[in-house]
Amino acid sequence: MRIPFEELRRTLARCLMERGFTKDRALRCAHIFAENSLVGVASHGLNRFPRFLQWIDHGWIDPVAESVRMATQGSFERWDGNLGPGPLNAEQCMKRATEIAIDNGLGCVALRNTNHWMRAGTYAWQAADNGFLGICFTNTKPNLPPWGSLEPKLGNNPIAMAIPRANGAHVLFDGAMSQFSYGALESAARKHAVLPVPGGFNQAGELTDNPAEIIASQRPLPIGYWKGSGLSLLLDLFATVLTEGRSTQELGRQADEYGVSQVFIAFSKAFVDSRAADSIERAVSNLHSAQASDAAPVRYPGERLFRIRAENTERGVPVDARIWTEVSKLQAP
């Protein structure tokens, strides 16, 4: 089932206004959710929207709270998200990082006490779509055992990096430090599918591509084994120190994941002059020219999302009919 992007956005916005969002903020927040479905990441778009509303009802997301600047030092600013909606806080802080970068070469905003931003790629893309180089990362509640451990002491701490292309099809990396999210594991388990590569350990401590076994053991695999485990800890420490906010460990002591710590870095659009733009295009062409190992062409990160975005813009956004019906009923008349 497909619906037009604008219909999806307006419907979500009406639900948010019902929950106390001002019209402007409701439309901006709904845009981010709708866009996540538009680019094919419904798990952080429409499908996650009912849970977002529940978080508001729990009091973990304050619909009217805005992030506020707490400290400034040169190219660095520390903001407090005041437990406002994660997507709005993140959008504002990446915008602020790009503003700082204009005069300072680069800008960094460290945002504490905020909420799940849905998809890391949204904000790195935002920087790139305005001509900047963007990096952002977040910590999460504990959901990943450190390498060599049985206990989920680390977060999967997604990071995104983006480089602008003149044609708008920006290069975008967006990934968590776990090989697969629990969402992806659950989705595969429901279909009784095996993972394309091993994604964690079974209860016997052996690597497995069976998603149900990984869910049972609670031992998903960090990317690159010990490497993703190490990177995860460093991302959490950078986020915690720079924001003066909650660590993954502290998030684990709460009833659920709210009040996370995030970092946004932008590099000036002035760096992307014609020479740099040529260099970026040559890198993309070079990758496309690589001999493929199977029938699928070699793609740069973010390319698939951009193609899906174009297709769904034309054909409508695919939605889960059950969730769409549920959400449609929630909107104010």
* Residue positions annotated with a catalytic role: 44
Residue 282 contacts a second copy per CB under 8 A: yes
Which contiguous run of DSSP H or E holds residue 68? strand 68-73
> Closest CB to a second copy among 8 and 101?
101
Residue 275 contacts a second copy per CB under 8 A: yes
Residue 184 contacts a second copy per CB under 8 A: no
Residue 133 contacts a second copy per CB under 8 A: yes
Residue 179 contacts a second copy per CB under 8 A: yes
Q: How many residues bind a second copy (CB under 8 A)?
A: 78
Q: What is the smallest separation between the CB atom of 211 and a second copy, expressed in angstroms? A: 16
**Cα R_g (the chain), whole angstroms:** 20
Q: What is the smallest separation between the CB atom of 34 and a second copy, expressed in angstroms? A: 25
Residues 48-87 that bind a second copy (CB under 8 A): 73-76
Q: Which of 178, 207, 211, 177 is nearest to 194 (CA)?
A: 211
Q: What is the smallest separation between the CB atom of 36 and a second copy, expressed in angstroms? A: 18
**Binding segment (CB under 8 A) for a second copy, from list 40-48, 186-194, 229-237, 308-316:** 229-237
DSSP code of 308? Answer: H
Using DSSP, state whether 222 is helix, strand or coil: strand
Q: Among 56, 108, 260, 317, indicate the residue that binds a second copy (CB under 8 A).
A: 108
Handedness of CA 266, 271, 272, 276 (dihedral sign): negative
Cα–Cα distance between 46 and 287 in angstroms, integer? 33
**Other C-beta atoms within 10 Å of 314: how many?**
7
Residue 292 contacts a second copy per CB under 8 A: yes
- How many CA atoms lie within 13 Å of 87's alpha carbon, on the beta-carbon side? 23
Cα–Cα distance between 293 and 64 in angstroms, integer? 51
Q: Among 94, 111, 185, 231, indicate the residue that binds a second copy (CB under 8 A).
A: 231
Residue 106 contacts a second copy per CB under 8 A: yes
Question: What distances in angstroms separate CA 136 from CA 108, 119, 158, one per listed residue?
Answer: 9, 11, 8
Q: Among 223, 308, 323, 330, indicate the residue that binds a second copy (CB under 8 A).
A: 223
Residue 290 contacts a second copy per CB under 8 A: yes
> Would you state the structure tokens that stand for residue 299, as one six-digit string?
């793609």
